[in-house]
Amino acid sequence: MNPTITSPIQKTDEHLPVAGLLALAMTGFICIMTETLPAGLLPEIGAGLHISPALAGQMVTAYAIGSLSAAIPLTLATQRWRRRRVLLLAIIGFVAFNSITAFSTHYGATLVARYGAGAAAGLAWALLAGYARRMVTRAQQGRALAIAMVGTPIALSLGVPAGTWLGAAVGWRLAFWIMSGLTVLLIAWVLAKVPDFPGAAHDERLPFRHVLYMPGVRSVLGVVMAWMLAHNVLYTYIVLFVTPAGLAGQADRILLLFGVAALIGIWLTSRTVDHALRLSVLLSLAIFAVVAAAFAVGSASPAVIMIGVTIWGLTFGGAATLLQTALADAAGDGADVALSMNVVAWNSAIAGGGLLGGVLLDTWGAASFPWAVMGLAAVGFLIAWQARSHGFRPGHRLGHGGES
């Protein structure tokens, strides 16, 4: 059995469909940009729609609700559709709803458009990981997914500041029109470089409950919730957390440092995801907990903050690749359904991190964040540790069989 495992891996770089995988990465980039663009332009949007910045901020909330509420039902409804058709449906949704957002002068219509854009994102996120895996051989799946996920940290570290600057320079409406224009180019890219695949046959459709109770699926989702809650408690309130170290004015540089480190983390993960997925997850969570401990005792030190943020970015960069690979492997033929659950879990953790962080901030202050992070990272570590038989199995993932 070893020759069939090791031989393909040595040649995984030779036949990776990089252009198609980067089209999927661009889709993720568009998802993140569409979600976060209003956050940096709230005063301008508020003035344009004659509302308060707080009401303008609900554009982000409406997007998140759309992703949470639509990911699973849309994924189930489109199981039988050809895969590129579903991908293009999600991408066209961005064109339509971003264009409506750019054109709308009515707050209610803008919120509806933002909800629709969130629904498109929920469908896209549920599709991307499974699509990337189907484009390559099983030996290439880990690296393919790492490439397909690279759009997220790029959008967070570079795209969001650039989008905010662009919106401030040329107006928030033109910024959304530009997003629509980029998405039109993405449609052409997908048609040219992304292969099509059939959907599930009628007798192959797996119900939600069946996939949820597959061995390992709930364990992976539990790690997603714990890890992403820990991350978002800190990431959401990063400006307030770094203020005691005198770094509040350098928050943009800190986020850039985090994003660059996350990109390196994705590359490192692409080298380890296939033969050491379990070890990578456990090490990432353990190191994240250690960084949180360093933050707890040294939050007033700029050096501790800068070094800690760098290591944190390295551990976080590969999280999406590791967790989605583990989830898809555990779900097998139900991968798309399981990945739609991941969308819900991931976005719930983003919202939950904001809520939990707010409670901690009001009750004990920003100094309490590292302690919460340590506790949540420990929970994630323990869940992954006990999921040795299913979910996070030791050894090379190609030796586990089953999933294709």
Domain-wise residue ranges, the chain: 15-204, 208-396
| pLDDT confidence of residue 250 | 84
Lowest mean pLDDT among 51-65, 220-234, 306-320, 390-404: 390-404
| Domain 15-204 grouped into CATH 1.20.1250.20 | yes
**Residue of 279, 301, 13 whose CA lies nearest to 146:** 13
| 55 burial level (CB within 10 Å; 0-12, 13-18, 19+) | middle
**Residue of 18, 316, 5, 250 whose CA lies nearest to 143:** 18
pLDDT digits (tens, 9 = 90+) for 370-382: 999 999 999 999 9
CATH number of 208-396: 1.20.1250.20
| pLDDT confidence of residue 225 | 96
Query: CA–CA distance from 107 to each of 45, 48, 62, 157, 318 (Å)?
Result: 10, 10, 12, 29, 38
pTM greater than the 0.85 cutoff: no
For residue 218, pLDDT beyond 70: yes
> Which DSSP string do the residues of 230-297 spell out, in sequence order?
HHHHHHHTHHHHHGGGT-GGGHHHHHHHHHHHHHHHHHHHHHHTTT-HHHHHHHHHHHHHHHHHHHHH
pLDDT digits (tens, 9 = 90+) for 49-108: 998 877 887 888 889 889 989 999 999 899 889 999 999 999 999 999 999 999 999 999
How many angstroms separate the CA atoms of 135 and 240, rounded?
A: 43
Q: Contact 119/160 with Cβ under 8 angstroms? A: no
pLDDT digits (tens, 9 = 90+) for 277-303: 999 999 999 999 999 999 999 999 999
| pLDDT confidence of residue 274 | 87
